[in-house]
Every structure is written in C-alpha cells, then in structure tokens.
C-alpha cells in the first residue's frame, strides 16, 4: 500500500502561489470569477482552484502582449538579458518551495522536482547570455553594387502552450528565448499543472519584466481559449509542446495567419543495447531514460531492443533495479516513483500493459497498478513484447520497459526507425565506429550515445518526423523567435 505523507510547508506553498490570470501586468479573475480545480495526483484530492479564462480573457491577454510588443522590442538586449538573469537567481534561491509546489501538482518526487527547477532556471541563464549575441551581417553583393545589411528582429507576439510533465522547464524553454529575442507572449500551461507557471510569472515580474511582456492564461478548455488567439492577426508566433495529435490540429489553425510555428511533440524513443555494450552502464542509462519523471517524458525510452545474447542478463538487472524503487507521494524525501498524472493516464498505461500481455509479452516485474488513493503504477519490465503490441507504436508515458531482441545491427536500426516519431534514440556500445554509424542512421533529432539523458539548455532539443518542428535551447533556440530582415543598400 502507498502511504500519503505530508510536508510541513505544503499548505503554505499552495496558499502563496498566484491563482489568477496575469494580463497586462495585473493579476485578475477570469470573467465571471470562474475557476477550475487543481488536483494532487498522489491523493486524488483538490489542492486549490485557479482562474478559468474565457475566450474574451484570452483575447485581452493577446491585446496586452500586442500593445507591449513595440516597446519591448526596443529595450536594449542587455536589459532583457539582465531580467532573465535576475529571474534565474530568484528561482534558484526559492528552489525548495518551487520544487514542493511542483511535486504537489504534478506528482514527481521532490528530488526530481528540484532537478527540474534547476534545469528550468538554466534556460533563463542561457538565454540571458544569448540576448546580447543576436548577430547580423553586412556584405558586398557578388556584383559589387550596393551593400547587403541583414538584421534579426523579434517575430512579434508569441503564443506559448506547455504540457504538464515538466511544468516549469517547458515554460522557461520558450519564455527565455522569447524575452531574449524581444517578443512579448501569452502562455497557457496545462490544466493539471498551472501553479508552477503562475509562480514563475510572478518571479519574472519581481525580476523587473515590464507589464504585458508575459501574460498567463489558465483554462479548463484549452482549445476554446487558444483557437481565437491563434486565428487573431495580432499573434505572429506559436510555440507548442505537447502531443502530436494536438500539434497537428494547431498547425492547421496556424495556417490561417501563417504563424511561425515551432512544435515539440510526442516521442517513441528506441533504446538499443549492442552485445559489446558495458551492461551495467546500459542498465544505468535505461533507468534514467525510462524512469526520469516516472516515465512521463517525451524523451522516455519506449522500446528496448537488446542483442539476443545479452537480453536475459539485461532484463534481469533492469528488473532488479526497477523492483527496488520506492513508490509513494513525492513529498517524502525517500520516494523515487510518484503517481501518474491522472486517472486517464493510469488507465492508458494499464491498457497498454494488458494488451502486450494478451499478445504474448512476459512480465519480469510489475505489470499492474500499485493501488492507493492516487494514480500509482508499479515499475514494470516486460520481455518478448511483439512488434504488434500497441506499446510498440504508442507513447507509454509510464514506468514500463518493454524489451525485445535483435541479432544484427541493420535489424536494430530498422526496428528503431519503424515509427512515425523521431525525437530521440539511445544506443549503448563500446565500439566507437558502431556508435557513430548507428547514431547517423537513426531517424531522430537527438541521440544519447552511451547515455540515458540528452536534455541540456545549451543543446538544441527537438525532433524530426511527427515529433516536431524547430529546436529549443542551444544557439538555435532563439532563432525560433527572430526573423531575419534584409536591407538592400543602394548608391555605393
């Protein structure tokens, strides 16, 4: 059974978090003072209510972003960067409370929430540094007549939509480059986890962000508030992180105003273990790639392909590690596996495992929900998972590791690439040539070569195929919020 420990500061941090809409620098209620509930996934109880925006509230937020755009674009890059830097410092100084707030609304264990707070803050530090490095070009054209001047300007008001699995980092990865580039924005966090984003917006105000540069809209009906903004000519940019199904819908909606679109969508990461791999390192990498965020990560290893000669040893060692994890409400320091986000996600993981077992998969450990008041699922290792099982093609988004085998490199690559997704892949081998050869052959935007975590604010994060468009973080992240302008100079 799962116990439900409490934390001495949990009521305080929930109480302190803003719960209204942030529009034009003012916190205000939604029209009609409507609210929706925020739930603790570890207990299924309500933590608090936050404002439930109407479409008119959303358009008011877009109007505020639009009105602030020209002034914000004219702020010196150094000032924009210094606001981000101050926000970085504040986030780090309040890491404990922010982590607790995140654990309460999202469920991840405190240690992981602390890790996400640091990761989230690092995007602000990175983009504080990038704000002053927005370059341009000055060139002599091939015929020598006149000159070319190329400058890069903010694209304009941006609409940002984030998922629940990394409630703060998915926001700072968009807000950081938007602020650095000189774009104003309206952000809509996921309905399950609005509190972390509202707390972040308050920190940015404290750091000196002018009114209207960041507006926050929380809503129970995401489509109802987003579509009017996406179709409004005052918006110029859409940056979305979430499922591929919603991403496809948003591309269609964005076509009307021809928005500049960036999308970080779903994944179905393959994890390849070759027979020349360091087995312990591969198991450690598998634990990170599978169990980070309770398996609820777009980068989560979704399919394990292990060379037939080492598959029994790999699955036994992985099962031993998975079954030793402590499950519970994440506010307790010794907990390693929190609940899934909600009843729907628990139902999905349960169905995917039942489907795989019905098709012949063997359970090495786990294989069922964990019980308790919240949405807990037992860490699970399955072997002999057939290619026809639903989990071979669908994101599991839970602590379940399905293992199948291969016998040669080509087969491993073909199986890994046999998906519409292309976010990240992982491979373990001690042969450098093989490592680079296979890395180049994998159809994904990112590869973890002998490592189970690829995310880094200084690196370009993003996918190919149905996993998305564009990159976040690294040197490329700010480009998504800039447009080049070419000025042709005559008379020279």
One-character DSSP codes across 409-474: HHHHHHHHH-SS--SEEEEE-S-HHHHHHHHHHS-SSEEEES-S----TTS-B--SGGGEES-BST
CA distance linking residue 233 with residue 235, whole number of Å:
5
- Contact residue for ligand NAP among 54, 241, 383, 419 (CB under 6 A): 241
**How many Å separate Cα 385 from the centre of its chain?**
28
Query: By CB under 6 A, is residue 205 in contact with ligand NAP?
Result: no
**C-alpha dist (Å) from residue 221 to 197, 233, 352:** 17, 22, 27
Query: Is 264 considered catalytic here?
Result: yes
- Contact residue for ligand NAP among 298, 310, 364, 413 (CB under 6 A): 298
Say whether 10 sits in a helix, a strand or coil.
helix
From the candidates 122, 264, 395, 480, give the one annotated as an active-site residue. Answer: 264
Beta carbon of residue 8, minimum distance to ligand NAP (angstroms, whole number): 30
Query: By CB under 6 A, is residue 423 in contact with ligand NAP?
Result: yes
- Contact residue for ligand NAP among 266, 338, 339, 374 (CB under 6 A): 266
Beta carbon of residue 249, minimum distance to ligand NAP (angstroms, whole number): 5
Beta carbon of residue 401, minimum distance to ligand NAP (angstroms, whole number): 17
190/289 with CB nearer ligand NAP:
190
- Contact residue for ligand NAP among 76, 223, 347, 388 (CB under 6 A): 223
Closest CA to 395 of 77, 165, 168: 165
283/416 with CB nearer ligand NAP:
416
Beta carbon of residue 458, minimum distance to ligand NAP (angstroms, whole number): 16
Query: By CB under 6 A, is residue 302 in contact with ligand NAP?
Result: no
Query: By CB under 6 A, is residue 163 in contact with ligand NAP?
Result: yes
Beta carbon of residue 255, minimum distance to ligand NAP (angstroms, whole number): 14
Query: By CB under 6 A, is residue 289 in contact with ligand NAP?
Result: no
Query: By CB under 6 A, is residue 319 in contact with ligand NAP?
Result: no
The tokens 């003072």 sit on which residue? 33
Residue span binding ligand NAP (CB under 6 A) among the ranges 74-82, 205-213, 237-245, 275-283: 237-245
Query: Which residue has the closest beta carbon to ligand NAP?
Result: 242
Contact 177, 155 (CB under 8 A): no
Query: Dihedral, CA atoms, 120, 125, 128, 130, nearest 10 degrees?
Result: -90
Which residues, numbered 431-490, are part of the site for ligand NAP (CB under 6 A)?
Answer: 463, 468
Say whether 483 sits in a helix, a strand or coil.
strand
Beta carbon of residue 371, minimum distance to ligand NAP (angstroms, whole number): 24
Ramachandran area for residue 156 (φ above 0: left; ψ -120 to 50: alpha; else beta): left
Site string (372-401) toward ligand NAP, x via CB under 6 A:
-----------------------x------
Closest CA to 87 of 10, 201, 191, 166: 201
Closest CA to 171 of 206, 209, 216: 216
Q: Buried b / exposed e across 76-101, counting CB within 10 Å, b at 16+?
A: eeeebbbbbbbbbebbeebbebbbbb
Query: By CB under 6 A, is residue 257 in contact with ligand NAP?
Result: no
Note the helical H segments in 168-221.
169-181, 194-206
Beta carbon of residue 326, minimum distance to ligand NAP (angstroms, whole number): 25
The pair of three-digit structure tokens given for residue 472, joined into one six-digit string: 């976040």
What are the two backbone dihedrals, phi and then psi, of residue 477, each rounded to the nearest 5 degrees? -60, -35
Query: By CB under 6 A, is residue 226 in contact with ligand NAP?
Result: yes
Q: How many residues bind ligand NAP (CB under 6 A)?
A: 27
Binding site for ligand NAP (CB under 6 A): 161-166, 170, 188, 190-191, 222-223, 226, 241-243, 246, 249, 264-267, 298, 395, 423, 463, 468
| Active centre residues (catalytic) | 264
């Amino acid at each position: 059974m799962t116990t439900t420990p409490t934390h001495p500061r949990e009521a305080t941090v929930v109480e302190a978090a803003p719960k209204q809409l942030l529009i034009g620098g003012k916190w205000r209620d939604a029209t009609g003072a409507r609210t929706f509930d925020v739930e603790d996934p570890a207990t299924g109880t309500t933590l608090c209510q936050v404002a439930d925006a109407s479409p008119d509230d959303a358009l008011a937020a877009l109007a505020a972003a639009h009105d602030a755009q020209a002034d914000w674009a004219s702020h010196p890059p150094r000032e924009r960067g210094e606001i981000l830097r101050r926000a970085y410092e504040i986030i780090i100084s309040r890491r404990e409370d922010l982590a607790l707030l995140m654990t309460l609304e999202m469920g991840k264990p405190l240690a992981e929430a602390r890790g996400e707070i640091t990761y989230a803050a690092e995007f602000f530090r990175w983009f504080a540094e990038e704000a002053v490095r927005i370059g341009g070009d000055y060139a002599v054209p091939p015929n020598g007549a006149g000159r070319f001047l190329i400058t890069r300007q903010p694209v304009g008001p941006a609409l940002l939509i984030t998922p629940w699995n990394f409630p703060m980092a998915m926001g700072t990865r968009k807000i950081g480059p938007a602020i650095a580039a000189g774009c104003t924005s309206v952000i809509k966090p996921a309905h399950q986890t609005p509190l972390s984003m509202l707390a972040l917006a308050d920190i940015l105000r404290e750091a000196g962000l002018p009114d209207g540069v960041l507006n926050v809209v929380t809503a129970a009906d995401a489509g109802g508030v987003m579509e009017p903004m996406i179709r409004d000519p005052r918006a110029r940019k859409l940056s979305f992180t979430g499922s591929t199904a919603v991403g496809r819908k948003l591309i269609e909606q964005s076509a009307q105003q021809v928005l500049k679109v960036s999308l970080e969508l779903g994944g179905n990461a393959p994890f390849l273990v070759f027979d020349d791999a360091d087995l312990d390192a591969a198991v450690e990498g598998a634990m990170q790639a599978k169990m980070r965020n309770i398996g609820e990560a777009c980068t989560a290893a979704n399919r394990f392909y292990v060379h037939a000669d080492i598959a029994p040893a790999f699955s036994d060692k992985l099962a031993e590690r998975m079954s030793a994890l402590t499950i519970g409400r994440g506010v307790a320091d010794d907990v390693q596996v929190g609940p899934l986000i909600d009843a729907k996600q628990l139902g999905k993981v349960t169905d995917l495992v039942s489907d795989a077992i019905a098709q012949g998969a063997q359970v090495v450990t786990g294989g069922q929900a964990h019980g308790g008041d919240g949405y807990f699922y037992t860490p699970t290792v399955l072997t002999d998972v057939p290619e026809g099982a639903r989990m071979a093609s669908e994101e599991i988004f839970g602590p379940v590791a399905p293992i199948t085998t291969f016998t040669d490199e080509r087969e491993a690559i073909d199986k890994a690439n046999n998906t519409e997704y292309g976010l990240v892949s992982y491979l373990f081998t001690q042969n450098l040539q093989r490592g680079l050869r296979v890395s180049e052959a994998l159809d994904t935007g990112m590869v973890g070569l002998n490592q189970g975590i690829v995310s880094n604010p200084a690196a370009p994060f993003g996918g190919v195929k149905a996993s998305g468009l564009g990159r976040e973080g690294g040197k490329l992240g700010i480009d998504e919020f800039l447009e080049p302008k070419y000025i042709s100079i005559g008379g020279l």
